[in-house]
Amino acid sequence: MKHTIHIIEDDSSVKKLLEITFKEYDFSFISSENKRNALVMFLSHNPDLLIVDLGLPDGDGKDLIKQIRDVSKVPIIVLSARHDEKEIIAALDVGADDYITKPFSVNEVVARIKANLRRNSIDDSIENRFVCEGLELDVNTRDVVLKGKLLKLTPIEFDLLKYFMSNANKTLTHKQILEEVWGVGYQNEMQYLRTYVNALRKKIETNSTRPNYIKTESGIGYRFTCNIK
């Protein structure tokens, strides 16, 4: 069954490029040019993923993301010309799953779509084991194995890795990670996060200064990279 992508974009040239790309990759799609129509189309068509521009003619796309998040966990990728770190963090914090800046590569957009669709297809209630390129994490036994070797992780390191792996290929803000792993009240404890990420990198990365798994999104947070086959 084809996945349906909902394009929410008022720039006709960008919308056309996305539509041509999605046809090529065998995605179905619907399109909206403003917030009002987007909400109606979303509720009536139940798409599998949304591509949202922030600069819509009848308001900010972040407001639309908030409305969608009130009723659905559907993956949302922001595609915007806004490069400011504060804008990116704000969009992710209100519920966007990913953020791509314009100008963009259509190959990157398709790769991000596939990654988000794949992650969304996993039922978290039954997902107890995560595997990524030689790295395995078992939620039940709390074992972490790298290329056949059992690793010794602290409880926090395990919880941090579990959060990263369960959100593979998704940009996570510092605030999101701190709240999920440490809890409410730790949103500003950046040193905690940096310390544990560095410790975790030393245990799972071949070269912790040039990580393959845990990538830094400068000024925003981290992305756990796992190639999608």
Q: Which DSSP string do the residues of 164-188 spell out, in sequence order?
A: HHHTTT-EEEHHHHHHHHT-TT-TT
Of the candidate CATH numbers 3.90.10.10, 1.10.10.10, 1.20.1600.10, 3.40.50.720, the domain formed by 129-224 belongs to 1.10.10.10
Exposure string over 107-126, b if 16+ CB within 10 A, otherwise e: eebbebbbbbbebeeeeeee
**CA-CA distance, 179 to 200, in Å (whole number)?**
18
SS3 221: strand
Q: How far apart are CA 182 and CA 79, in angstroms?
A: 30
Residues of the chain with CATH 1.10.10.10: 129-224
Q: Residue 129's pLDDT is what?
A: 87
CB 179 within 8 A of CB 192: no
User: Which residue intervals of the chain are DSSP H helices?
Assistant: 12-24, 35-45, 61-71, 85-93, 106-120, 155-166, 174-181, 190-204
Give the separation between CA 195 and CA 13, rounded to whole angstroms.
Answer: 45
Q: Which amino acid would we find at residue 192? A: Y
pLDDT of residue 213: 96
Distances, alpha carbon 150 to alpha carbons 5, 22, 140, 161, in Å: 40, 42, 15, 14
Question: How far is Cα 221 from Cα 146, in angstroms, rounded to an integer?
Answer: 24
Q: Which CATH architecture has domain 4-120?
A: 3-Layer(aba) Sandwich (3.40)
Q: How many CB atoms lie within 10 A of CB 46?
A: 11
What parts of the chain have a pLDDT lower than 50? 123-126, 229
